Structure 1
């Protein structure tokens, strides 16, 4: 689509700038909704273009790669753009229906800058610009996280920023080592040069790779860097926590985008070092997330730990760095984003009616039957029970795990523990409610409830269309493993610097 490739970055950037200068609350809402709807139209159009025409490259300022800034549109980036645009639309509908945006200043501007950072991270073809968009994400997400104020929210926000600033520092060190070793930070150029490097000259490159893996593990809440997530997500506003469901996926996306073509297992430069590090950490992450769901004392912490477990499963599939494993990882990534966001929105609806997120008996709430059904649906989706997409995703991951008994045991055992945890929470929230008091009147949040129901429908649709989606993902995985087509589009100079 030519110049349209940059539109997902420019659109929220321009909208955010205008929103900062707009003082009218009504005007802010209208402009933000228009920008979200425009993104919702643009992302599928780009996905269709990537499907029909194959991968495409946009050179900012027409500077040639690897010297200029490059944006890459392929099936993987298009998938993440569609996922982000769709999730932002549901979250925006919930925000407007629940008046969350009126609890602080500049909500809509921060929301747009958040989308700018996400879309830029998914489109960039340069590791340095991946760092730049990570920082845009960090700044905007911190503002959204503390939206509405409160001591606990501010404390959690400081912890969140602290962890990510450490990651940012390591990211810069890794970039310096990679550039010093290879002379480039363009991903396509690295995919050409790194496999050709003699093994004896790759010591610094291995160190840089481990640093990058740590950075992406921090973003993806992978053990032992998951400590920031429960407090952050549990204290964030409900709809913002739902939007953050795609934030951890940025870490998984970065591992897939960077390590699959540049540091694949079996490469003379790096061997199987990163795969060997990734799988044990992923399995431990899954186990910690599952037991966190079982032992959580509050609804939002339980949902946050479910998010950690989902990231463990995504990274388990990624660690194989095979076509089958990447397809499983991408399908489960989409499912877990939708299921996690749905559960956060349901949790916020329950909180608005109960007045507390603590898992203890309270008076019966309004619309208990409907909310219990939504909680049940999101719970079985997150735990991976049939017939929803979580079950299909886990089957794909198990199939890609090459019959590893330990991997199967952790995945199935984690699912069982999560089922028990969700059942315990559901019984406290809806079944063991105190019936002596009349339920309060329904909260005026019909639009928020409608947005939640629509997101639940998407979760069901992922089950119905699992076959076509996984078939569409197969070429995306194949292009990552063999990026020759994308590399050719960059028109990179030869080894001697000549075209």
Structure 2
């Protein structure tokens, strides 16, 4: 099992998703069988990913050559502490939304569970691959699955949002191919480690071409990550998606952020000569403006789902600031914040759905509506999520923002980073306070709350799984920070990557 461990997070959902399209999963009792199969697959995925993290911590990074075709020519998977952590985070989020969907969301369409598995194939593959073309392939896999999931349940709003989403991503995919062709034409490789060596040997003319290809990839990754000015699609798209889908999509923006960290640290990092840190002058203003745009959007949001979508944009801007600082300490801080923000924004989408189910036609809009049937329970969940996402102690949001701020100390950007993050946090508290007071305190005098559906045990289990993760991250904060520090050091250690890839001889 250890020999092929690196590819299991891709094979498990791929084979599982295919089997769910066949009898007995496609028969009259397909929902019962698919639920059992989905739960088994998610538990297996979490167990394998956690074990993969353990193996990487104990034995170092893993290079897996599919078919034993060695780098730089074969299909190469590279599992370091960063990619293993993100695969585990994906599995954990997938388990939570699968549990939540058992309340009935998975019955709104035939193929919810298979599509979630195929989405996991694309996301985990993007985290594990060490080849830019295979990254493009996994992007397409996750995008095709996301197109189907976004329209899950049907409706005019979902169809319109899905159309915009498809068109934007088709443009992004085209730009990605142009970028790959450009970089392959001058380097002769698409293996990330091999390309990191070859960009240092380019002539002046080819360096300009490489810079153009790298800039095109930034546009692609910025679109996936919802970085300003490519963020406009996200709040509305996430707001109309069904709750489990929106919560699962919280990890998809992190795929774009991860690619920025990986590609522009390894290929265009400090060792890249004239191409070193080529995008840093662009990242700084885009990161700050992303936070500003997301914060303003949160303050202006008409409902809780749109507010959560804008908070995803704020989290992307914060992660880009961590990247722009270009130090292992800042990268480690960003990784901790990434874990927290993904989990808690996913929980907010689920909470918004439960609130909407109990408020009648008002849904989760910030308007006066009838009192909710389980207002106290929903209120506690909302307060926990709000405190966590705003960065208040004792939750992981406070710890995540604190380490990001600390990583900016004694740099030329200290004043900018501290100001923008603290002001954004204050504005987030204001937006969430407004949302909470309207949703829970401004009720009509009618007493028809008994007509509202109660919270399902599956909804409570899925949401509770995400909410409890925030204080647990803070409780074991020292161990988590140690892990992210090691993951960041490994990411910035290019000679170590070349050694694992058996390319160190070529580098010399």
Shift of 1:275: 1.1
Q: 1:43 aligns with which of 49, 53, 56?
A: 49
Whether 1:18 and 2:24 are equivalent positions in the alignment is no
Whether 1:424 and 2:434 are equivalent positions in the alignment is yes
Q: Is the 8 A contact 1:197 1:269 kept in 2?
A: no
Shift of 1:71: 0.5
Distance 1:198 1:392 in 2: 45
Whether 1:436 and 2:446 are equivalent positions in the alignment is yes
SS of residue matched to 1:108? helix
CA RMSD of superposed structures (Å): 1.6
Question: For residue 365 of structure 1, what is the aligned residue in structure 2?
Answer: 372
Q: Relative to structure 2, which stretch is displaced further, 435-444 or 234-243?
A: 435-444
Distance 2:273 2:108 in 1: 55
Q: Relative to structure 2, which stretch is displaced further, 441-450 or 276-285?
A: 441-450
Question: For residue 480 of structure 2, what is the aligned residue in structure 1?
Answer: 469
Shift of 1:493: 8.5
Question: For residue 52 of structure 1, what is the aligned residue in structure 2?
Answer: 58
Distance 1:323 1:2 in 2: 30
Instruction: Give the 3 Å change call, closer, same or farther, for CA 488–271 of structure 1 in structure 2.
Output: closer
Q: 1:296 aligns with which of 295, 298, 301?
A: 301
Gaps (5+ residues) in structure 2? none
Question: For residue 448 of structure 1, what is the aligned residue in structure 2?
Answer: 459
Q: Is the 8 A contact 1:195 1:262 kept in 2?
A: no
Distance 1:464 1:197 in 2: 48
Shift of 1:200: 4.8
Question: For residue 333 of structure 2, what is the aligned residue in structure 1?
Answer: 328
Distance 2:126 2:366 in 1: 37
Shift of 1:266: 7.0
Question: For residue 484 of structure 1, what is the aligned residue in structure 2?
Answer: 495
Distance 2:440 2:19 in 1: 44
Shift of 1:271: 3.5
Q: 2:357 aligns with which of 352, 359, 373?
A: 352
Q: 2:398 aligns with which of 386, 391, 410?
A: 391
Whether 1:413 and 2:413 are equivalent positions in the alignment is no
Distance 1:395 1:7 in 2: 35
Distance 2:293 2:418 in 1: 16
Q: Is the 8 A contact 1:101 1:108 kept in 2?
A: yes
Q: Is the 8 A contact 1:55 1:485 kept in 2?
A: no
Distance 1:99 1:269 in 2: 55
Whether 1:134 and 2:144 are equivalent positions in the alignment is no
Whether 1:457 and 2:458 are equivalent positions in the alignment is no
Distance 1:280 1:392 in 2: 25
Q: Is the 8 A contact 1:194 1:269 kept in 2?
A: no
SS of residue matched to 1:149? coil
Question: For residue 112 of structure 2, what is the aligned residue in structure 1?
Answer: 107
Shift of 1:7: 0.8
CA-to-aligned-CA distance 1:95-138 (integer Å, 9 cap, x gap): 11x21000111111101100111111111010110010000010
Q: Is the 8 A contact 1:239 1:348 kept in 2?
A: no
Question: For residue 7 of structure 1, what is the aligned residue in structure 2?
Answer: 8
Q: Is the 8 A contact 1:56 1:486 kept in 2?
A: no
Distance 1:340 1:267 in 2: 36
Distance 1:380 1:293 in 2: 15
Question: For residue 38 of structure 2, what is the aligned residue in structure 1?
Answer: 32
Runs of 4+ in 1 over 4 A off after TM superposition: 493-496
Q: Is the 8 A contact 1:198 1:268 kept in 2?
A: no
CA-to-aligned-CA distance 1:134-156 (integer Å, 9 cap, x gap): 00010001111110000001110
Question: For residue 169 of structure 1, what is the aligned residue in structure 2?
Answer: 174
Instruction: Give the 3 Å change call, closer, same or farther, for CA 273–489 of structure 1 in structure 2.
Output: closer
Question: For residue 90 of structure 2, what is the aligned residue in structure 1?
Answer: 84
Instruction: Give the 3 Å change call, closer, same or farther, for CA 181–269 of structure 1 in structure 2.
Output: farther
CA-to-aligned-CA distance 1:428-469 (integer Å, 9 cap, x gap): 000112243242254251221122122111111111112111
CA-to-aligned-CA distance 1:231-252 (integer Å, 9 cap, x gap): 1100000111011110100011
Length, aligned pairs only: 496
Shift of 1:59: 0.5
Whether 1:253 and 2:258 are equivalent positions in the alignment is yes
How high is the TM-score relative to the length of structure 1?
0.96
Gaps (5+ residues) in structure 1? none
Q: Is the 8 A contact 1:335 1:390 kept in 2?
A: yes
Shift of 1:382: 1.2
Distance 1:380 1:84 in 2: 23
SS of residue matched to 1:71? strand
Shift of 1:38: 0.9
Question: For residue 386 of structure 2, what is the aligned residue in structure 1?
Answer: 379
Shift of 1:196: 3.5
CA-to-aligned-CA distance 1:151-205 (integer Å, 9 cap, x gap): 0011101111111111111110110011011110001111222234344530000
Question: For residue 181 of structure 1, what is the aligned residue in structure 2?
Answer: 186
Q: Is the 8 A contact 2:397 2:470 kept in 1?
A: no
Q: Relative to structure 2, which stretch is displaced further, 51-60 or 433-442?
A: 433-442
